[in-house]
Chain A
Amino acid sequence: MKCRVCREPAIIDIRRHNANFCVEHFLRLCRDQVAKAIDRHEMLRPTDRVLVAISGGKDSLALWDILVELGYEADGLYLGLGIGHYSTSSEGFARRFAEDRDLRLEVVDLQEDYGFDVPEGARAARRVPCSACGLSKRHLFDEAARRGGYDAVATGHNLDDEAAVLFGNVLHWQQDYLGRQRPVLPAGNGFPRKVKPLVRLGEREMAAYCVLRSIEYMVEECPMAVGNKHLGYKEALNAIEEQSPGSKHNFYFGFLDRAVDRFGAAFEGDGTDVGTCVRCGAPAGGEVCAFCRLLERVGGSHPDYHSGPTSTGNRTSVSLAPTRVGASDGAAGVRP
């Protein structure tokens, strides 16, 4: 098996490209695909400050690495979810990555700062854990981006993630979610711009990128996610992909090219009923945003506010002054 570019021995085959690559040209492919996604979908300007949502897993750390390699000013934000050993280990991977590369990582801890964790939030709200987790993530990453003056929030959603979400939303014809399933959501209605620069790269490629770049990441799956529908959709799509390479790419990019505009606006919220949460100032459909409703049910509270980030090494307790930000709960469908 030889590299398509240089004919040296290859280390990975990418069947949907019908091509094999050596280390050097595979890493170049990954960076080129991210640059292409950013350019084609007008995700970022060269001078943008980017907040990368860091989980400690392969996708977010690879994304952070590639954005820095491409010359973007990119900081990370890790959210401690309180999921036992999984969260402790994930935070360790995130912190070591940042420390080794002298990058700035902020940490928000749900239990420490808000008085609840994801399992408690799920029980109190009678939601599945992934729903309470997603709601908290969206709210807190949006809030941090506004507070920190970032131009965009970048998440590590890859082609497999997007294809699986699309698959689920098509199965249930979640029209509002389908309209927002785009690789970039412009800032609007009080929400920051959201970008997904990894949409041209598959999950296997991101894991390979980390191995070849010696990026240590949290390999174990979140115990709360085991058996969820999203993983089932991925398995189903991979079974199709094995028989017909390129199916996931064609499914997702065909949707973007031919269908997404039929489903509505490329904004969070619907643009007509977004007000401001009376408790935290986030965008909200009613008087109180979904995150503050969750906080009330679980008996938590907003933290004491700091005047600004206070650094302890690379760990930074962040200011959480109330402002706008928001989220809707997305219990029925899968939010893009």
Chain B
Amino acid sequence: MQVELRNPSRTMEFDGPMAVTALLARLSLNRESVLVIRDGTLVPGDSMLADDDHVEIRSVISGGSW
């Protein structure tokens, strides 16, 4: 599967099927810090990702000032 990440923008390849939680663990990402998006909608943590899936892992952390 193709996995798109940002900050910096990059694309990584993984073999499927793989659970969302397993993918995040492989990437050492905290579930609290990201969303997994496939075809414009959210993919919950217990879902399986297929070998031909294209998913985006989007960071949700922002650090503005006030």
Contact = CB atoms under 8 A, between A and B. Distances in A.
Contact of A12 (B33, B44, B62): B44
Interface stretch (A106-114, A238-246, A257-265, A289-297): A238-246
Contacts of A212: 41-42
A157 B66 contact: yes
Nearest to A16: B32
Contacts of B40: 211, 214
A204 B66 contact: no
Given A13-B44, A241-B32, A137 B61 contact: no
A130 interface: yes
A281 B31 CA distance: 47
A324 interface: no
Contact of B61 (A155, A211, A234): A234
A219 B6 contact: yes
A160 B58 CA distance: 17
A240 B39 CA distance: 31
A20 B44 contact: yes
Contacts, number: 98
A208 B32 CA distance: 12
Nearest to B34: A204
Contacts of B66: 134, 137-138, 155, 157, 335-336
Interface of B: prevailing SS:
loop
Interface string B48-66: 0000000000111111111
A225 B33 contact: no
B30 interface: yes
Nearest to B61: A234
Contact of B6 (A131, A202, A220): A220
A164 B37 CA distance: 26
B35 interface: yes
Contact of B35 (A207, A231, A335): A207
Contacts of B47: 1
Contacts of B6: 219-220
B64 A225 contact: yes
B64 A238 contact: no
A58 B42 contact: no
A134 B65 contact: yes
Contacts of A211: 35, 37, 40-42, 58
B30 A203 contact: no
A221 B7 contact: yes
Interface in A150-198: 155, 157, 160-161
Interface of B: 6-7, 30-35, 37, 40-47, 58-66
Given A160-B61, A230-B63, A231-B61, 18 more contacts: A1-B44, A1-B46, A10-B44, A20-B44, A130-B65, A157-B66, A202-B32, A203-B60, A204-B60, A207-B35, A208-B42, A211-B37, A219-B6, A219-B59, A222-B64, A225-B63, A238-B30, A335-B66
